[in-house]
Amino acid sequence: MSDHEVETFESADAGASLTYPQQAGTVRKNGYIVISGHPCKVVDVSTSKTGKHGHAKCNFVAIDIFTGKKYEEMTPSSHNVDVPNISRKEYTVIDITDEGIVSMMDESGNTRDDLFLPTGTDENDKLAEIMKDHWSNDKEMAITVLKAMGQEMINSVKVVNDKAA
């Protein structure tokens, strides 16, 4: 009996996969796809007709949802592609530090301060400036955090109510 080892699991997730398979021919514009290991939003899909080798091909043009980088991929429409599991969660901003660390609280009252203001693209820089401006003007903000494939980023912001008013 003492020869058996007890397995301990360090992970607290339910074993959910980072991606799921979907037939390439069913992925549409504004859908999501994984290209070269990057979760991307599809901006254009074109399908070529069946050629002498038998498969219609889908040509995807997509933009990385975290970096804004453009990717392209061509896949037979009958084959599966990986689609990222994407989740969004709303938080209330508690504090924004001078280093750009955002402290936030979810609806259950749990706090976290492990995300930075969004950077990397013009759109993200603009979002960070809006957040700093709202914070300096004492406006209460709700932010949406986008999570895909182990990465997280602040995706949008809205003013809940004006503390200064």
User: Which CATH number fits the domain that encloses residue 128?
Assistant: 2.40.50.140
Q: How many domains does the chain have?
A: 2
Last residue of a domain, one of 84, 111, 141: 84
* The pLDDT of residue 11: 46
User: Does some domain include residue 4?
Assistant: no
Percent pLDDT > 90 in the chain is 66
pLDDT digits (tens, 9 = 90+) for 75-107: 998 999 999 999 999 999 999 998 999 999 999
Q: What is the Cα–Cα distance from 93 to 116, expressed in whole angstroms?
A: 12
In a 3-state reduction of DSSP, which class is residue 141?
strand
User: Does some domain include residue 100?
Assistant: yes
Last residue of a domain, one of 84, 99, 129: 84
Domain shared by 129 and 65, yes or no: no
What's the CATH code of the domain at 56?
A: 2.30.30.30
Q: Which domain holds residue 140?
A: 86-161
> Average model confidence (pLDDT) for the chain?
86
Residues near 113 by beta carbon (within 8 Å), at least 6 away in sequence: 94, 95, 101, 102, 103, 104
Q: Is the pLDDT of residue 133 over 60?
A: yes
Q: What is the Cα–Cα distance from 56 to 33, expressed in whole angstroms?
A: 18
Parallel, antiparallel, or unpaired: how do β-strands 139-148 and 101-105 relate?
Answer: unpaired
User: Does some domain include residue 75?
Assistant: yes
Question: Dmax of the chain from CA atoms?
Answer: 70
Q: What DSSP string runs through 73-138? A: EEEETTSEEEEE-EEEEEEEEEEE-TT-EEEEE-TTS-EEEEEEPP-SSHHHHHHHHHHHHHHHTT
Domain shared by 57 and 91, yes or no: no
* The pLDDT of residue 165: 46
Percent pLDDT > 70 in the chain is 87
Domain shared by 90 and 128, yes or no: yes
Domain shared by 78 and 60, yes or no: yes
Last residue of a domain, one of 65, 84, 103: 84
Q: Is the pLDDT of residue 70 over 70?
A: yes
Report the 10 Å Cβ neighbour count for 164: 8
Mean pLDDT along residues 45-62:
86
pLDDT digits (tens, 9 = 90+) for 18-40: 899 999 999 999 999 999 999 99
* The pLDDT of residue 4: 62
Q: What is the Cα–Cα distance from 73 to 86, expressed in whole angstroms?
A: 20
User: Does some domain include residue 154?
Assistant: yes
Domain shared by 114 and 156, yes or no: yes
Domain shared by 72 and 94, yes or no: no
* The pLDDT of residue 50: 79
Give the rounded distance of the alpha carbon of 113 from its chain centre. 18
Domain shared by 91 and 151, yes or no: yes
Residue scoring higher pLDDT (155 or 6) = 155
